[in-house]
Amino acid sequence: MNGWHETEVRVRYAETDQMGIAHHSNYLIWFEAGRSDLCRARGFSYKEMEEKEDALMVVAESYVRYKSPAFYEDVLSIRTTISEVRSRSIRFSYEIHRRSDEALIAEGETLHLVTDKRQRVKTIPEAYKHLLSEDSSRAFPAEQGPS
């Protein structure tokens, strides 16, 4: 599949809970690590967009479907893709697999609105939109797509 980006995380001890599995709130943090990494790989600096364009990507919705627990020290592959770019919003989709057995750990989505520092929704700056849109994803294919 086109445009998937892959990031690795190792489950930290601090991320486990007394059930002996990674706590479900960490998945949103791992999704974010995948998202940051995808953006970086496309030459899109989130930090720069924040500082130079006064454009923040605020999370408007998150959805996670937990399929199988992840354990301490598991190496997880976070697969991220941009599923939709509109003038004021971006949707990312994710899949998390465990490296050792390729088990599907979770899948999910986040929807982001672009706002200024005062939380007013604004149009995505054109240069940044370009980097995130389909065409540029074809121009810079992810080296490590899941298949």
Give the binding site for a copy of itself (CB under 8 A): 10, 12-14, 16-21, 23-26, 28-29, 32-33, 36, 40, 46-47, 50, 56, 58-66, 68-69, 72-73, 117, 119
For a copy of itself, the closer CB: 29 or 139: 29
Alpha carbon separation from 74 to 33, 103, 113 (Å, rounded): 16, 11, 32
State the nearest-atom distance from the C-beta of 138 to a copy of itself, in Å. 26
Residue 130 CB partners (closer than 8 Å, separation 6+): 136
State the nearest-atom distance from the C-beta of 23 to a copy of itself, in Å. 5
Round to whole Å and give the CA distance between 147 and 145. 5
State the nearest-atom distance from the C-beta of 11 to a copy of itself, in Å. 10
Round to whole Å and give the CA distance between 60 and 72. 30
State the nearest-atom distance from the C-beta of 20 to a copy of itself, in Å. 5
Residue 18 backbone dihedrals phi, psi, to 5 degrees: -70, -5
For a copy of itself, the closer CB: 72 or 140: 72
Residue 48 CB partners (closer than 8 Å, separation 6+): none
For a copy of itself, the closer CB: 56 or 122: 56
Pick the closest to residue 81 from 64, 94, 90 (CA basis): 94
**What are the residue numbers of the active site?**
17
